[in-house]
Amino acid sequence: MSPAGSPAGRAPVPEVLRLGPARLTAGLDRAARLDAAAHHHAHGPMPAYDAAGLLDLAERIDLRGRGGAGFPFARKARAVLAAAERRGGGSRSSPRGPRGDRRSPVAVVVNATEGEPASAKDRMLLARAPHLVLDGAALAAAALGAAEIVVGVAAGGPGETSMPLAVAERRLPVRTRVVCLPERFVSGEGGALIRGLAGQPVIPPAVKGRAAEGGPSGLHGLPTLLSNAETYAQLAIAARLGPDAYAVVGAPGEPGTVLLTVSRPSRPPVVVEVPAGTRLGVVLGACGLDPGQGVLVGGYHGAWLPPHTAAGAPVSRSGLAALGGALGAGAVVALPPDTCPLGEVVRVANWLAGESAGQCGPCRLGLPDLVAALRALAAGEGGEALDLARRTAAGVRGRGACAHPDGTSRFVLSALEVFAQDVAAHRRGTGCGRRTRGILPLPGDAGSVLPAPAAGRDTASTGLALIVDWSRCDGHGLCAALAPELVALGAHGYPVTAEGPIPAHLLRGARRAVAQCPALALRLGPDRSG
């Protein structure tokens, strides 16, 4: 293991470590951020690929999306090409398809929003190795005949400053722009991202579609190649090395390296580059950790593994899936012995329920009901609460407008199984006797769990208030529709927020108003009215 640099820039960037060869992290032991010249020195020139070469490369290394779903990159690119050829209509300068037909232009989109609180790998790439991400996107854009490259980043994150600077530092094959979106869990869902880039509310569309097909699901109606930041960075590495050299490290069927974000109690997270197939126990040990009570793999749409299983688990899609886990976005959290597992799970489930788009039954009704059942279980209300939590978690799967209910269900059900002893103690009413330390990372105080009421509505104070950034507010009025008990519109159409702290039962609406504000003018902060 060797260190590879330290945090840099105005936003916190995690420490970087590597086990084995440095690929995505090459050069980061010498610079906090690789500008265009330092990037070229660390990685060398970028070869050009046509469409056939791009597809062959992606297929030979079985490149998969690194944002969570693990969808084959080559299949996406092939679908984009097929849609572009069906649409036709290209100009004389447009690229030709395999049969010599003109193709319509396409769009290349980099999903770098990373709304997963336990993941920081894409944030690290944006802040420290932005040109590697741009290399992969530029390669795809040139090969597919793209009209533009669009990079979606989280507002307030390091990508907001680092990526525009990187774009300005180099020549790119097509027009490239960086768009800031609300930092929210569902902002990274493909359909929500496309909507946000087009200036629409950043929520998953009610009707599912494929961005590769273009039309309503594509950016500006174009066939759209959409993948996350690490995926494009991996493509850039593979393009330079070639498929054989790329596969020198890695697991059978899953060549190359993987970026993991490992959370550490009371310390910033660390991003670790490891060859695929490395044992998870080795990664934890390199970060000064052990499996503790259990290990969450894949983030908050991932799954929990018991300690003995986690220690020997290979870091690969197939290896983790065989053990009931998921690689997902590469987030890893080991739960130490001095925190309440059920309390940790309730915190995150509560946050996930508030992060939903609230546009379908499983999210609007199912997830809040799941949180209520978990709270009752933590409060010692017996077997009925456990049974209700299991039924509710199972009942939301496969019924949502997006995968948010499915991922939340996986997170909760795996926790109830792995932490069965702790759950049993709470079920008996005795509890585990440990406080909830907040080991699972959440943004700000958004995941704080308020005491479950004995009966009726929870009117406890959250200690939070809605705060308006008047330099950004444009009087859109959406906040008043999403949280009418907290926001009214004044005589000139601008929001007037309620005095005092937000009651617990209104916190979910307040979070929706913050997340969906088109001008990013709302935030939650400490109430200072007293």
Single-letter code of the amino acid located at 140: A
Interacting residues of 123 by C-beta distance below 8 A, sequence separation 6+: 11, 13, 14, 114, 154, 157, 158, 159
Residue 1 lies in a domain: no
pLDDT in tens, 256-300: 999 999 999 988 999 999 999 999 999 999 999 999 999 999 999
Strand ranges, E, within 428-526 = 464-468, 487-489, 495-497, 522-526
Domain boundary among 317, 335, 353: 335
Do 350 and 317 share a structural domain? Answer: no
Residue 8's pLDDT is what? 37
Q: Considering the domain boundaries, does residue 437 fall inside one?
A: no
Q: What tokens appear for 319 in the block?
A: 């290896």
- Which domain CATH number covers 111? 3.40.50.11540
pLDDT for 205 beyond 90: no
Q: Are 11 and 157 in contact (CB under 8 A)?
A: yes
| CATH at residue 306 | 3.10.20.600
Q: Which domain holds residue 475?
A: 464-526
CB contact set of 7 (below 8 Å; sequence gap of 6+): 13, 14, 15, 32, 268
- % of residues, the chain, pLDDT over 90: 54
23: left (phi over 0), alpha (psi -120 to 50) or beta: alpha
Q: CATH number for the domain including 423?
A: 1.20.1440.230
Asked if 263 and 234 sit in the same domain, the reply is no
Query: Measured between alpha carbons, how far is 121 from 327 in angstroms, rounded to an integer?
Result: 13
Please state the rounded mean pLDDT for residues 16-31.
94
Decide if 251 is inside a domain: no
Task: State residue 457's pLDDT score.
Answer: 38
For residue 323, being part of any structural domain is answered with: yes
- Asked whether residue 81 falls in the same domain as residue 155, the answer is yes
Assess contact for 233 and 409: CB atoms under 8 A. Answer: no
Mean pLDDT, range 67-85, rounded to an integer? 90
131 and 152, same domain (yes or no): yes
Residue 378 has pLDDT above 50, yes or no: yes
Band of the pLDDT at 448, cuts 50, 70, 90? very low
Shared domain check, 301 and 191? no
Q: What is the structure's pLDDT at 300?
A: 93
Q: Do residues 112 and 73 share a domain? A: yes
Do both 407 and 327 map to the same domain?
Answer: no
Q: Are residues 137 and 216 in the same domain?
A: yes
- The pLDDT, as a whole number, for residue 106 is 95
Q: Give me the mean pLDDT over the 334-359 stretch.
A: 89
CA distance 32 to 24: 14
Q: Are residues 328 and 347 in the same domain?
A: no
Whether 235 and 269 map to the same domain: the answer is: no
pLDDT averaged over every residue in the chain: 86
pLDDT at position 137 is: 98
pTM for the model:
0.80
Burial class (CB in 10 A: 0-12, 13-18, 19+), 59: middle
Instruction: Calculate the CA dihedral of residues 459, 460, 462, 465 and round it to 10 degrees.
Output: 50
Which CATH number does the domain housing residue 505 bear?
Answer: 3.30.70.20
Q: Which of 427, 451, 484 is the last residue of a domain?
A: 427
Residue 320 has pLDDT above 50, yes or no: yes
Judge if 371 and 517 occupy the same domain: no
Task: Yes or no: say if 378 and 342 are a contact pair by the CB < 8 Å rule.
Answer: yes
Q: Please identify, among 287, 312, 335, the residue that sits at the C-terminal boundary of a domain.
A: 335
Structurally, the chain folds into a number of domains equal to 4
Is 134's pLDDT higher than 60? yes
The reported pLDDT for the residue numbered 77 is: 96
pLDDT in tens, 137-188: 999 999 999 999 999 998 888 999 999 999 999 999 999 999 998 877 777 7
Is residue 84, in this structure, part of any structural domain at all?
yes
Same domain, 150 and 175: yes
Report if residue 449 sits inside a domain. Answer: no
Residue 291 forms part of a structural domain: yes
The tens digit of pLDDT for each residue in 79-123 reads: 999 999 888 754 444 455 444 455 679 999 999 998 889 999 999
- What's the average model confidence in pLDDT over 128-132? 97
**Rounded mean pLDDT, 356-368:** 77
Confidence of residue 65 (pLDDT cuts 50, 70, 90): confident
